Structure 1
Amino acid sequence: MALSRALRCCQRIFSWIPVIIISSVVLWSYYAYVFELCFVTLSNHLERVAYLLIFHVCFIMFWWTYWKAIFTSPSTPCKKFQLSYTDKERYEMEERPDVQKQILVDIAKKLPIFTRAQSGAIRFCDRCQVIKPDRCHHCSVCETCVLKMDHHCPWVNNCVGFSNYKFFLLFLSYSMIYCVFIASTVFQYFLKFWVGDLPNGSAKFHVLFLLFVALMFFVSLMFLFGYHCWLVAKNRSTLEAFSAPVFQNGPDRNGFHVGLCRNLQQVFGEDKKLWFIPVFTSLGDGHYFPLRTLGESENPLLANEEKWLEDGGSDEESADENEPSVIIRTES
Structure 2
Amino acid sequence: MPVAMGNYDNDGKRSTALGSCMSALKWIPVIFIAAVIAWSYYAYVVQLCLLSIENTFEQIVFLIFYHIICVLFFWSYWNTIFTPVGTVPSNWRIPETDIEHIFHADTQDQQKRILENFAKTLPVTNRTLNGSVRFCEKCKIIKPDRAHHCSVCGACVLKMDHHCPWVNNCVNFTNYKYFVLFLGYALLYCLYVALTSLEYFIRFWRVSL
* Mapping for residues 57-206 of structure 1, pairs under 5 Å: 57-196=68-207
Within the alignment, does 1:22 sit opposite 2:36 as a pair? no
Deviation >6 Å, runs of 4+: none
Match of 1:36 among 31, 41, 47: 47
The 2-side partners of 1:64 and 1:142 are apart by 23
Equivalent pairs: percent with the same residue?
47
**What residue ranges of structure 2 are gaps of 5+ in the alignment?**
1-10
Measured after TM superposition, the shift of residue 6 of structure 1 is 2.7
The 2-side partners of 1:98 and 1:5 are apart by 41
The 2-side partners of 1:154 and 1:119 are apart by 33
- Counterpart of 1:49 in structure 2 is 60
Within the alignment, does 1:7 sit opposite 2:18 as a pair? yes
The 2-side partners of 1:187 and 1:128 are apart by 53
Give me the TM-score of the superposition, normalised by structure 2.
0.89
The 2-side partners of 1:118 and 1:180 are apart by 46
Measured after TM superposition, the shift of residue 68 of structure 1 is 0.2
What amino acid does structure 1 have at the position aligned with 2:202?
L
What amino acid does structure 1 have at the position aligned with 2:109?
D
- Counterpart of 1:296 in structure 2 is none
The structure with more radius of gyration: 2
Q: Which has the higher contact order (CA 8 A, sep 6+)?
A: 2
The 2-side partners of 1:158 and 1:173 are apart by 18
Backbone CA RMSD of aligned residues: 1.7
Counting matched residue pairs gives 198
Name the CA shift for 1:8/1:55 in 2 (closer, same or farther; >3 Å). Answer: same
Measured after TM superposition, the shift of residue 93 of structure 1 is 4.7
**What residue ranges of structure 1 are gaps of 5+ in the alignment?**
201-332
